Amino acid sequence: MSASTYELGRLHGGLRLDSLKEQSTSHSIYEMPVPARLVLPISQHVGSAARPIVGIGEQVLKGQRIAETGGTLGAPVHASSSGRVVAIEPWPVSRRYGDAAPCIVIECDGEDRSIEDADALPAYRDTAPEALLTKILQGGIVGLGGAVFPTAQKLAQALAGELQYLILNGVECEPYISCDDLLMRERARQVVGGAQILMHALSLDVAYLVVESDKPDAIRRLGEALAELEDNRLVLIQVPTVYPSGGEDQLVQLVTNREVPTGGLPSDVGCLVQNVATAAAIYDWIIGHEPLISRITTVTGDGIVRPMNVMARLGTTVAEVVAFAGGYTDRAELLIIGGPMTGKSMTTDRVPVVKATNCILALSEPPKQGRARACIRCGECAVVCPVRLLPQQLYWYACADDEAKMRLHGLTDCIECGCCDLVCPSHIRLTADFRKAKARIRELEDEKARADRARRRFEARSERLDKEQRARERQLLAQKETARRAGPDAIAEILRRKQKDEE
Ligand code: SF4
Ligand code: SF4
C-alpha cells in the first residue's frame, strides 16, 4: 500500500515548526573514535538501576555485561570498549539535569577487543518468542526515541493483550534532531530487519513503518530495503510534518484512527510503537551480536562549529562529542540534551552520552520567551494541545497548588510537548509548571506507596507477634496445669522461665 492510498487518522492540535534539521543532515554519520575513558551510568533506562557485576581493577571486553538488570523493570549495561574498570562512583548525568549518579568508569586500552556472544541465537525465526524476548533483554535494548523503556518488558506487556499492529516510529518531529533520519537513510536494512525480528517476537502479520514527509531520502531508502526483502507485511507510510505527531499516542491515532484511552497504553487499542533506532539496535544484537553500546547522536545548533550526526560509544562525554564536531562557536550560551521542546538544559558538558542521548544542542541564546503576563483566556493553548487538555485551566490549578484538580483535569496525560508555551501570547511557561506538578504527583504516589508498604509490614508484624503471644499463653496455661499437679517448685520454675523469655 503506498503512502498516497493510505487513509490517515486525524491528529488534534499540534504545530508546524521550522525543522532546523538541515544544519546536521548535509553529511553522512561520522564514526567517533573510542575515547580514552568511558563513563557508563548504571541507570540509563526507566526502572531500577542496574547492579554492577564488575570490580575496580577488572579487565573488561567490548560488549561484556558490566551491570545486571536490577529489578523486574530494568536493563543491563555493557562495556562500550575493552579496558580496565577504574572507578564506580557518582558522575554528572543528563537524565538528572547534570546531577551526579553512580557510573562505572572504564579506562580504554585502545584495542577495542570484543567478547564473544556465548548465547547467540542460531536463527531468530527458529526461536520461540519468549526466548527472543529474553535475548532482547540481555542486549540492554531500551526505547531509543527518548523514553528508554526496557524493550523486552514493553513487548511482554503488549503480548499480554490482543496485539494487532506494530508501528515503527520514524517520525522524528522535534526541530534540530536528525539522528533517526540519518539512520533510516544509511541503515535502512537494519531498521527493516529489526522490524521483522519484532514481528516474529510478537507473532504479528502487519507492521507500519511511519516517516514524516520532510524526509524524502529516508523514505526512498526504506522503500528500496523493503523492495529488496519482498516482505509485503511491512507497510511504509508518510505522515504530514506536524509536531508532535511522533508521540506514541498521536502516532497510533494517525495510523489507525484509534484513540489510546486516558491513562492507557497503545496496546490497549491493539498497537505497539517502537522507535526505528530501537529496531536497528535489535537487529545489531540479534543478527550482529553487538549489544547496545553505541548510538547515533545529533550534535547541532548555532553554538556548534560543524553540526553533524555521530555514532558515539555510550559513555563518551558530551564535551568529547562537541570537540569532535569542531567545538563550540563563540556565541554558544545554552547547552541542551535532547531537542528544544522536550530537552533538558545542562550546566556541564562532562555528562556522558547514554542510551537516551538523541541530540546535543548548543544555542547562542535561549528561545525567546518574554516576560510572563496574566492569562487573557484566549484559548490558543487548548487549540494546539495534542491531547485535548485545557492548559489554561490546568494553569489555574497549578497556581493554586491544587494537584488533585490538575489530576482530575488530565494532567497526567500531558506529554510535555511545549506546544501551549509556543502559542501563549502571555508568555506563560505552562509546560514547566505541568512538568513540576507531574513530578510532585509522582513523588506523592511514591510516598504513598512507601507508606502503604510500611503499614502492611507493620500490620503483618503485629499479627505475627499477637499470634506468638497467644501461643505462648496457651503453652503457659498447659505448663501451669501440669505443674499444679506436680507441686509449687515446678510453678516457680515456669514463672522464672516466662520472665526470662519476656526479658
Ligand atoms: S494561551 Fe496563554 S493566555 Fe491564552 S488561554 Fe492559554 S494560558 Fe491563557
Ligand atoms: S505541554 Fe501538555 S498541556 Fe501543553 S500542549 Fe503539550 S500536552 Fe498539552
pLDDT in tens, the chain (503 residues): 444 457 888 889 999 999 999 999 999 999 999 999 999 999 999 999 999 999 999 999 999 999 999 888 999 999 999 999 999 999 999 865 557 899 999 999 999 999 998 888 878 999 999 999 999 999 999 999 988 999 999 999 999 989 999 999 999 999 999 999 999 999 999 999 999 999 999 999 999 999 999 999 999 999 999 999 999 999 999 999 999 999 999 999 999 999 999 889 999 999 999 999 999 999 999 999 999 999 999 999 999 999 999 999 999 999 999 999 999 999 999 999 999 999 999 999 999 999 999 999 999 977 666 788 999 999 999 999 999 999 999 999 999 989 889 999 999 999 999 999 999 999 999 999 999 999 888 888 888 888 888 999 999 999 999 999 999 999 888 887 887 777 777 777 777 777 777 66
User: In angstroms, rounded to a whole number, what is the distance separating the alpha carbons of residues 155 and 166?
Assistant: 10
Give the 3-state secondary structure percentages of the chain, helix then strand then coil, rounded to 5.
40, 20, 40
Question: Closest residue (by CA) to atom 4 of ligand 2?
Answer: 420
Q: Report CA(409)–ligand 1 centroid distance (Å).
A: 16
Cβ 236 vs Cβ 226: under 8 Å: yes
pLDDT for the residue numbered 367:
64
Q: Which ligand is nearest to the CA of 423?
A: 1
Cβ 335 vs Cβ 364: under 8 Å: no
* Pairing of β 359-363 and β 294-300: parallel
Q: Report CA(259)–ligand 2 centroid distance (Å).
A: 17
Nearest Cα to Cα of residue 117 among 68, 74, 77, 62: 62
Q: Which ligand is nearest to the CA of 426?
A: 1
Q: Which ligand is nearest to the CA of 376?
A: 1
Question: Closest residue (by CA) to atom 8 of ligand 2?
Answer: 385
Burial 347-367 (b: 16+ CB within 10 A, else e): eebebbbbbbbbbbbbbeeee
User: In angstroms, rounded to a whole number, what is the distance separating the alpha carbons of residues 409 and 397?
Assistant: 9
pLDDT for the residue numbered 1:
45
Q: Largest alpha-carbon pair distance within the chain?
A: 102
Relative to the CA of 382, which ligand 1 atom is closest? 6
Q: Does residue 391 have its Cβ closer than 6 Å to ligand 2?
A: yes
Q: Does residue 415 have its Cβ closer than 6 Å to ligand 2?
A: yes
Relative to the CA of 426, which ligand 1 atom is closest? 3
Which among 380, 383, 415 is the best mutation to test ligand 2's pocket, defined by most ligand atoms within 8 Å of the CB? Answer: 415
Relative to the CA of 395, which ligand 1 atom is closest? 7
pLDDT for the residue numbered 489:
74
Question: Residue 210 — φ and ψ, nearest 5°?
Answer: -110, 125
Question: Closest residue (by CA) to atom 3 of ligand 1?
Answer: 375
Length of the chain as a residue count: 503
Relative to the CA of 376, which ligand 1 atom is closest? 3
Q: Which ligand is nearest to the CA of 380?
A: 1
Q: Report CA(410)–ligand 1 centroid distance (Å).
A: 17
pLDDT for the residue numbered 324:
98
User: In angstroms, rounded to a whole number, what is the distance separating the alpha carbons of residues 183 and 368?
Assistant: 31
Q: Does residue 389 have its Cβ closer than 6 Å to ligand 2?
A: yes
Q: Does residue 286 have its Cβ closer than 6 Å to ligand 2?
A: no
Nearest Cα to Cα of residue 89 among 78, 104, 67: 104
Show the ligand 1 pocket: residues with CB < 6 angstroms: 375-381, 391-392, 395, 423-426, 428
pTM metric for this prediction: 0.87
Distance of CA 173 to the CA centre of its chain: 17
Q: Does residue 414 have its Cβ closer than 6 Å to ligand 2?
A: yes
Q: Where are the alpha helices (DSSP H) in 151-269?
A: 151-159, 179-186, 188-202, 216-229, 248-256
pLDDT for the residue numbered 363:
96
Cβ 352 vs Cβ 93: under 8 Å: yes
Cβ 188 vs Cβ 224: under 8 Å: yes
Q: Which ligand is nearest to the CA of 412?
A: 2
Relative to the CA of 420, which ligand 1 atom is closest? 1
pLDDT for the residue numbered 18:
94
Show the CA angle centred on residue 502, arms to residues 501 and 503, nearest 5°: 90
User: In angstroms, rounded to a whole number, what is the distance separating the alpha carbons of residues 254 and 268?
Assistant: 16
Nearest Cα to Cα of residue 319 among 37, 57, 113: 37
Relative to the CA of 417, which ligand 2 atom is closest? 6
91 Cβ contact partners less than 8 Å away, ≥ 6 residues apart: 39, 41, 100, 101, 102, 103, 105, 350, 351, 352
Q: Report CA(406)–ligand 1 centroid distance (Å).
A: 16
Which among 11, 434, 441 is the best mutation to test ligand 2's pocket, defined by most ligand atoms within 8 Å of the CB? Answer: 434
Question: Closest residue (by CA) to atom 1 of ligand 2?
Answer: 416
pLDDT for the residue numbered 480:
79
Q: Which ligand is nearest to the CA of 388?
A: 2
Nearest Cα to Cα of residue 35 among 300, 315, 292, 350: 315
Between the two ends of the chain, the Cα-to-Cα distance in Å is 81
Distance of CA 142 to the CA centre of its chain: 7
